[in-house]
Structure 1
């Protein structure tokens, strides 16, 4: 059974996180105070001898994401974990698919996550996630920013200016920044670089609508295939800055799975696609970092 967390199950999520990730109490105090929210947390409960036990959970943290000159709401997947004795039973997969429904209901068109290991990427690919962020790009030096600022507000403005002018990146609020600084202080302000990340289309039409508005001269029709989110299976026509659904029998020039679509829309290495795609979707440099990883 899958349910959202509440105050009676919050401690079970905390204990599960501690068991699986082994993070310090100091880090977890910051995370569960600043980032954790019951309403963003899904839990899988397994029945044992007529009792329910929380065995797997994930969190969908809300952020804004700069996307083709504007900002869209996204969900950042955090704390995906399953107790060791409950693994390989499909619990996490069920949670991920449930999360897609919840994001769609809440009007969130894009999901992002940062896999802890490259080997874990294979697991997420089966749910339509694909790499859209590369690791290793330099990020602002928090220690330097804070030392050169009069207060936390001024430090945030310097920090924010680095990300706010970039397309295809997660934007942080002043409250996010406060948590980032508090976490960094625990580890003596280590130098940070961008993270490897993956993305997944939740609502193809909404994302295409933003793209169409930004590039009103673009005229294409594309058939999208998505084995997990039914509403994404459609033919979309982009013309004069708008997106419409078309007759599925119409002959299409472009046929895309949602994993390729998200790479194209985020501008991730679009120059490596065929010229049919690369001349339509401009290449960007998607970037993700400072996610309390």
Structure 2
């Protein structure tokens, strides 16, 4: 049974996180004070006990000149004795429906390592961010700034003008600095991360408005989210769903569409695709990972 967390189950989420990830009490105090919210946390209960959970942290994401809401999946964990029973899969699928109700069209997560990427791929996630890109030197910013507000302005300027990146608020930044201080401000680089489109039409509409010269139809296949299964016609800066037997230029699975719309290595797609979908340099970092 799946429910949102509340004040009576918050401690169970905390204990589960501690059991699975083993993070320090100092880090967890910051995370659960600054980032954790009951209303963003789904829990799977078995016989009344919390055995699996995930959090859908809200962020804004720069996307083809617009900023869209995204859900950053955090703290995905299942107690060791409850694994391989489908609990996390059920939570992920439930989260897609919750995102739809909230109007959030894109999910992002940072896998612990490459071995777990295979698990997330079965739910339509695909790699859209590479590790290793340089990020701002947080310690240098703090030293050179008179106060936290000025430091945030410098930090924010690095991300605000970039496309395909998660944006941070001043509150986010305050938590990032506090967490970094625990570890003596380590040098950070871009993270390897995965994404999953949950509302193809909403993102295609933004894409079409940005590139009004594009005229193309895209047939999308999504085995989990039914409303994404459609032929989308992009023309004159708008998008419509087609029920007619017209020429379809592209047939794409939802994972490929995610990479194409985020501009992830589109130069490695066939010529037809890369002429329509411009290549970007998606970047994600400072997620209190």
Q: Which residue of 2 aligns with 1:94?
A: 90
Identify which of 185, 191, 195 aligns with 1:189: 185
Does the CA contact (< 8 Å) of 2:217 and 2:247 recur in 1? no
Report whether the alignment pairs 1:135 with 2:135.
no
Alpha-carbon distance in structure 2 between the residues aligned to 1:177 and 1:253:
43
Alpha-carbon distance in structure 1 between the residues aligned to 2:103 and 2:169:
20
Identify which of 253, 273, 276 aligns with 1:277: 273
TM-score scaled by length of structure 1 = 0.98
SS at match of 2:150: helix
Report whether the alignment pairs 1:103 with 2:99.
yes
Q: Which residue of 2 aligns with 1:27?
A: 27
Q: Considering only aligned residues, what root-mean-square deviation do their CA atoms show, in Å?
A: 0.6
Alpha-carbon distance in structure 2 between the residues aligned to 1:213 and 1:253:
19
Report whether the alignment pairs 1:243 with 2:239.
yes
Structure 2, unaligned runs of 5 or more: none
- CA shift digits 1:247-271 (9 cap, x unpaired): 1643312100010001000000000
How many correspondences in the alignment? 289
Q: Which residue of 1 aligns with 2:169?
A: 173
Does the CA contact (< 8 Å) of 1:234 and 1:248 recur in 2? no
Runs of 4+ deviating beyond 2 Å? 248-251
Report whether the alignment pairs 1:219 with 2:212.
no
SS at match of 2:276: coil
Report whether the alignment pairs 1:156 with 2:160.
no
SS at match of 2:285: coil
Alpha-carbon distance in structure 2 between the residues aligned to 1:253 and 1:68:
22
Identify which of 54, 57, 68 aligns with 1:61: 57
The offset of 1:4, in angstroms, is 0.3
Deviates more, 1:241-250 or 1:189-198: 241-250
Report whether the alignment pairs 1:5 with 2:1.
no
Identify which of 272, 286, 289 aligns with 1:290: 286
Does the CA contact (< 8 Å) of 2:54 and 2:75 recur in 1? yes
- CA shift digits 1:71-103 (9 cap, x unpaired): 000000000000000000000000000000000
Q: Which residue of 1 aligns with 2:248?
A: 252
Aligned 1:119-134 pairs, distance under 5 A: 119-134=115-130
Alpha-carbon distance in structure 2 between the residues aligned to 1:146 and 1:135:
24
The offset of 1:142, in angstroms, is 0.5
Structure 1, unaligned runs of 5 or more: none
